[in-house]
Amino acid sequence: AQTVTQSQPEMSVQEAETVTLSCTYDTSESDYYLFWYKQPPSRQMILVIRQEAYKQQNATENRFSVNFQKAAKSFSLKISDSQLGDAAMYFCAYSTGGSNYKLTFGKGTLLTVNP
Amino acid sequence: NAGVTQTPKFQVLKTGQSMTLQCAQDMNHEYMSWYRQDPGMGLRLIHYSVGAGITDQGEVPNGYNVSRSTTEDFPLRLLSAAPSQTSVYFCASRTGDYGYTFGSGTRLTVV
């Protein structure tokens, strides 16, 4: 079974600084997708960034970027120029390709942004 | 286009009571799923459906029933609520490009 591990239960960052959240996963599949979701206090699940395993180029969305290391099964999220609105719980998630649509989540990292 | 709509947003049940959490999507997504979120546990898959008439169990299915009679609706039934089912429940549907759309969640307390 696939597993997703987030080793940092909590992280903090100063406003305008950069922070990296870690995620590792375990799979024997070659076709899969990785996601980072943000959950603010409103509890809404918001997709931050998505990476297809077959793409070597790291995904980027504005201030958010990932470091995807396929051989090491690592998928870290970098937040640049952190803003107060970035404070939230962040979840790393995995899904295989094809017809298996199930998302497997890590346990989450609570990010605090200090002014 | 409302996306994924969950009702109710909050619910308090007594042990042994039954209830149905509603989930509806208007995006014609074939895949729908239910997750529960507990502190320190992330989100865990309860049940999922790949189309009308087809459902299957996820990681934590005990105590929950589902059915899928239409593409739009995927209700989650608690037959006899237990305090261990106190949680936040999310419904999600999948787009063709492997993106998932989540509902706003239901906070359920069983006393």
Mean pLDDT of chain B: 93
Position A100 pLDDT exceeds 70: no
Mean pLDDT over A25-36 rounds to 91
Average pLDDT of chain A is 93
* Nearest partner of B76 among B63, B95, B59, judged by Cα: B63
CA–CA separation, A87 and A67 (whole Å): 21
Q: Are the C-beta atoms of A88 and A33 separated by less than 8 Å?
A: no
pLDDT in tens, B38-49: 988 899 999 999
Per-residue pLDDT tens over the stretch B6-39: 999 999 999 999 999 999 999 988 999 999 999 8
Q: Which residue in A43, A47, A102 is closest to B58 by CB distance?
A: A102
Q: Please report the residues numbered 46 through 85 in chain A whose beta carbons come closer than 8 angstroms to any beta carbon of chain B.
A: 47, 50, 52
Sheet holding B19-25, edge to edge: B4-7, B19-25, B76-78, B64-66
Q: How many helices and strands, by DSSP H and E, does chain B display? A: 0, 11
pLDDT at A2: 81
Percent of chain A with pLDDT over 90: 81
Tell me the one-letter amino acid at B83. Answer: P
User: Tens of pLDDT along A36-90?
Assistant: 999 999 999 999 999 999 888 999 999 999 999 999 999 999 999 999 999 999 9
Q: How confident is the model at residue A99 (pLDDT cuts 50, 70, 90)?
A: low
Shortest CA distance to A93 belongs to which of A37, A40, A44, A14? A37
Q: Do A47 and B105 touch (CB under 8 A)?
A: no
Tokens of B71: 């593409």
Tell me what pLDDT residue B1 has: 60
CA dihedral A7, A9, A15, A16 (to 10 degrees): 20
